[in-house]
Copies of this chain bind each other. A is one copy, B any other.
Amino acid sequence: MYVILVYDVGEKRVGKMLKLCRKYLNWIQNSVFEGEISEVKLEELKSKARAFMDEECDSLIFFKSRDSKWLYKEIVGNERSNLDIII
């Protein structure tokens, strides 16, 4: 399954969320990840995220597709994932 993940979490939890998501998906921009993942691994990711998320104000959005071929990605401006960042 191909997934696009976007998170929006409080500043204190950004580092933790970024680290968690990077274990499962490829980082493409600020709070956006994409990649192939199994249902089982996706449930694992969600469960680990829920453990520290504040569900009152944080959110995670998943766009799931059976195949990435249904999606065409286009980037305008700077493609951040080419840069290394230090967390």
Measured CB to CB, the residues of A under 8 A from B are: 4, 6, 8, 28-32, 46, 49-50, 53-66, 70-80
CB distance from A40 to the nearest CB of B (A): 15
Identical copies in the complex: 2
Selected contact of A73 from candidates B30, B61, B70, B71, CB within 8 Å: B61
- Docked complex Cα distance between A29 and B31 (Å): 11
- For A6, the chain B residues whose CB sits under 8 A away are 6, 29, 31-32
Asked whether B65 lies within 8 Å of A50 as measured between CB atoms, the reply is no
**12 additional contacts, CB 8 Å, given A4-B4, A29-B61, A63-B71?**
A6-B6, A6-B29, A6-B32, A28-B61, A29-B59, A58-B78, A59-B77, A60-B77, A61-B73, A61-B74, A63-B63, A65-B65
